[in-house]
Chains A and B, each alone.
Chain A
């Protein structure tokens, strides 16, 4: 162990950390009442986005600060960041990192959270269902891996935190998916996406339009070259 590491341990032991509250009673009370985890309220997201808009506006006014903007918005397990220039995507890949293909029933069993399926005609029987054990993510793929027409992913709190790096020319709209549940529609220029299951710092692939939202503790992402209205229609049909 180096001197610096020993110094960091010393700092850790002298950190000002409030005394841990007694949580057992509160947790047990919530379980006894059958309470599920608290939901992210629409208001909270709206406030977050409002703060974000101000933050982005302020930062864009100071060009040299652009590259330092980080972790400016989290929706469920997804983090969206603005950067001045997208990092390079090393190579095009047909591997979407979706994990093992299996039946919908098995994916539901493995996931353990409520897996929603679109009820829109033609989408209500996902042709390819995957479960990625490492990222606790369920995916529905319509089309092929090298040419996906629609990709829907879902992951709960334990799921991986995807990181989307969003070029500042990419547009984004705040959308209300359902009463009480807001999300973000990313469109325009492509954005890059990372998966934590890779060791590389480089983005994994480029994505066009995407709708990201959280509902009942599960983060959903729809990727497709479709309109916002169409994406919302699919999202709102998820049951």
Chain B
């Protein structure tokens, strides 16, 4: 094998190459994409449904739907928000069918330390009691605002990605976020 061949054959496929192969029916390539995005897909679905079982079903169905919709995925577009939009639609439909609100909770106090990963500076910044209060206020937000807040701060998506994921215009994301943050400040008595 020449150096050039080795470089070409041994190089991992890029995401764009995997997408192109998957579009042609290569299910191995699509499997690699599922593997790469299953974590964020499940987290997205969980934040929108509040149920591990529903999140798993939503993410799995979304990946199957996305495979059949790949023909409409534009070359050069960002795959992550495109996939997350399908996941979000699946998750929201399940939440609505179940007719209940999503209630998110914090990890037990000991977990962050026992889980292996060191808490980030941000995570250490605020006392757990204050975090509980803030999360309760987020849980109480109107659904439209809560979804945008969850995407921006709990999934750490950009405004553009949040807009694509929730099927909104960027201006709508900005206005909902602004209203949501205002409401949180009011709830927390932080004027």
Which residues from chain A sit less than 8 Å from chain B, CB to CB? Answer: 2, 4-18, 20-24, 26-28, 30-32, 35-38, 40, 44-45, 47-48, 51-52, 55, 70-74, 76-77, 79, 110-113, 135-136, 156-158, 160-161, 196-199, 201, 217
Contacts and interface: CB of A to CB of B under 8 A. Distances in A.
B93 A11 contact: no
Contacts of B138: 8, 11
Contacts, number: 197
Given A12-B154, A12-B156, A14-B119, A196 B168 contact: yes
22 contacts: A6-B126, A10-B122, A11-B126, A12-B156, A14-B119, A21-B42, A22-B38, A27-B60, A30-B64, A37-B64, A38-B61, A52-B99, A70-B144, A71-B143, A74-B92, A112-B68, A156-B65, A158-B65, A158-B86, A161-B92, A196-B169, A199-B169
A5 to B, nearest CB: 7
Given A10-B125, A11-B135, A48-B99, A157 B89 contact: yes
Contact of B63 (A27, A73, A136): A27
Contacts of B62: 157
Contact of B60 (A26, A51, A136, A199): A26
Given A112-B72, A199-B172, 8 more contacts: A6-B122, A12-B154, A14-B107, A14-B128, A23-B56, A26-B60, A37-B65, A199-B169
Contact of B184 (A4, A23, A52): A4
A100 B77 CA distance: 21
Contact of B67 (A7, A31, A76, A198): A31
A59 B119 CA distance: 42
A28 B28 CA distance: 8
> Size band of the B side of the interface?
35 or more
Contacts of B95: 71, 74
A71 B96 contact: yes
Interface centre among A40, A158, A197, A198 (most CB of B within 10 A): A158
Given A23-B56, A55-B99, A9 B156 contact: yes
B171 A70 contact: no
A24 B64 CA distance: 10
A20 B43 contact: yes
A13 B120 contact: yes
A17 B46 contact: yes
A38 B65 CA distance: 9
Contact of B153 (A11, A22, A27, A76): A11
A79 B181 contact: no
Contact of B149 (A8, A14, A74, A197): A8
B167 A161 contact: yes
Given A38-B61, A76-B93, A157 B38 contact: no
